[in-house]
Amino acid sequence: MGRQETIELFDRILERVRTLDPVNARKWFDDMTVVAFDRGQLEIGCPDTAKARYLRDNCLGVFAQAAQNVTGHLISIHFCRSEAADEAAPAGAFRVHPDYTFDNFVVGPCNRLAHASCVAVSQNPGNVYNPLFLYGNVGLGKTHLLHAVCHQAGGGLSIQFLSCEAFVNGFISAIEKGTLSEFQNQYRTVDMLIIDDVQFLREREQSQEEFFHTFNALYNNRRQIVLTADSAPGDMSAMEERLVSRFKWGLVARLDAPEYETRIAIVKKKASLWGVELVEGVAELIAEYIKTNIRELEGALTIVYATARTAGVPISPALARESLGVQEAFSSRPPAMGEIIAAVSEAFDIRVTELQSKKRSASIALPRQVCMYLGRIMTRHSLEEIGGHLGGRDHSTVLHACSKVEQMYKGDAQFRDRIDRLTAGITQRR
């Protein structure tokens, strides 16, 4: 087979991969090349080591399947780093994810400090904030930032990056095997130690003790320490005080749930990373639908994309709404109007009976409109049904309320936060 033919064949395989597994496909797949295609073996060159590893971990099966679909033969796939690729890939045996770079991280008010401190630390390890301690709820970008630090600091630095669970397991197995000093050397002699999810140390006294000494050894030698957790150092129960106080020695940065604009930007960023085109309105719709967790935001985009890809149609707001709506029906029962009204009553400090009354004073009208809006976005009730729960308002009143609240939601950041907290509260309470 000639070179040109091989290239065309590979293009078709890539196209097939994108259809079979849109979620793991990436825009940078286009930068891959065929190194050799011979006797049932397809050797594919990748831009760098992290990407080759990503492909081996996530995509071997789907490439084999795609190659078989396209050629009609069994093909074995091999990913390698291409000749031209740079050698400056991050050091160390750990796996940095090619997606998790600073370039792919959207910065907003919710994560500005965490992002800035990670950039500073990766440019000047050991000298600016030590330790750097990031905390926040699940799915807000802590692990992503740690990978980004590795990508950035990479080069000649020796870095150990691992989950706290791996640290604890390694410690226990070193004790069992009598290899404790090797274990200790491995972590106490690096330039940078990055440990994800240190809340895992809770109630593990011996591991805390070990970590305490590791921390001191590194700190005293001005080696960089970066840690993450699900809560602030001071809020970690069952954690030794001397550790907690050390966590606070450097900089503690919190990650918050992303604001509406940031959520839109994240959806757009992920879409471009995946090589997906989004028409106007789709990112906005997804950003309104998912509010508190970026992993779920990505999950929603995945669902929309996969649905479009399977159906062979472009992604439109209508398709997005439909595919997410379907998903919602499977995953959870929507809240009852009563739950929404109760939550609004509490948040605005107004009695339920007032929300359901005919009173029109502004202090009651707005919360009532919020109830209607939430009813509209969180339940599958008709406008009439929603109006029925709020003192028998007709459908045009409810429609008007929804568009008014939506305008305020888009234009007023403080109001938006309030609504976001309300919806999160209603969802969580269930």
Q: Which residues bind ligand ADP (CB under 6 A)?
A: 100, 104-106, 111, 136, 138-144, 266, 269, 294-295, 298
For residue 225, the cross-strand partners are: 193
Least separation in angstroms between CB 370 and ligand ADP:
28
CB 150 within 8 A of CB 159: yes
Residues 6, 37 contacting (CB under 8 angstroms): yes
Closest distance of CB 58 from ligand ADP, Å: 13
Nearer to Mg ion, 147 or 188 (CB): 147
* Token output for 129: 């904030």
Exposed, middle or buried by CB within 10 Å (0-12, 13-18, 19+), for 108? Answer: middle
Euclidean distance between CA atoms 281 and 195, whole angstroms:
39
* Biggest alpha carbon–alpha carbon distance for the chain: 80
Phi-psi region of 392 (alpha: psi -120 to 50; beta: other; left: phi over 0): left
Under a CB-based contact definition with an 8 Å cutoff, are residues 76 and 64 in contact? yes
In this complex, which beta carbon is closest to ligand ADP, that of residue 104 or of residue 160? 104
Residues in the interface with Mg ion (CB under 5 A) total 2
Beta strands 41-46; 159-163: pairing state: unpaired
Binding partner of residue 298 among Mg ion, ligand ADP, none, CB cut-off 5 to 8 Å per kind: ligand ADP
Selected range binding Mg ion among 3-11, 65-73, 139-147, 334-342, rule: CB under 5 A: 139-147
Nearest-approach distance from CB 138 to Mg ion, in angstroms: 7
CB nearer to Mg ion: pick between 11 and 165: 165
Nearer to ligand ADP, 144 or 309 (CB): 144
Residue 33 or 302 with smaller CB distance to ligand ADP: 302
Position 163 contacts Mg ion (CB under 5 A): no
Task: Output 143 or 369, the one with its CB closest to Mg ion.
Answer: 143
Query: Which does residue 294 touch among ligand ADP, Mg ion, none (CB within 5 to 8 A, set by kind)?
Result: ligand ADP
CB of 97 to ligand ADP, least distance (A): 8
Do 99 and 266 contact (CB within 8 A), yes or no? no
169 versus 179: smaller Cβ distance to Mg ion:
169
Could you tell me where the DSSP H helices lie in 312-361? Answer: 317-331, 337-348, 352-355
Task: Look at residue 191 and give the partner it binds from Mg ion, ligand ADP, none, a contact being a CB closer than 5 to 8 Å depending on partner kind.
Answer: none
Residues 322-361 that bind Mg ion (CB under 5 A): none
- Asked whether 267 and 286 are in contact (CB, 8 A), the reply is yes
Among 49, 143, 214, 345, binds Mg ion (CB under 5 A): 143
Give the CB-nearest residue to ligand ADP.
141
Dihedral sign of CA atoms 58, 60, 64, 66 in order: positive
Q: How far is CA 139 from CA 143, 286, 299, 300, in A?
A: 9, 16, 11, 13
Q: How far is the CB of 302 from Mg ion (least distance, A)?
A: 18
**Shortest gap between Cβ of 144 and ligand ADP (angstroms)?**
3
Supply the DSSP string of 6-55, one letter for each residue.
HHHHHHHHHHHHHHH-TTT--GGGGG-EEEEEETTEEEEEESSHHHHHHH
Which option in Mg ion, ligand ADP, none does residue 295 bind, with CB closer than 5 to 8 A by kind?
ligand ADP
104 near Mg ion, rule: CB under 5 A: no
- Residue 271 Cβ, how far from Mg ion at the closest point, in Å? 22
Q: How far apart are CA 413 and CA 55, in angstroms?
A: 41
Nearer to ligand ADP, 23 or 34 (CB): 23
CB of 105 to ligand ADP, least distance (A): 4
- 412 vs 1: CA distance, rounded Å: 61
Q: Between 104 and 208, whose beta carbon lies closer to ligand ADP? A: 104
Residues that bind Mg ion (CB under 5 A): 142-143
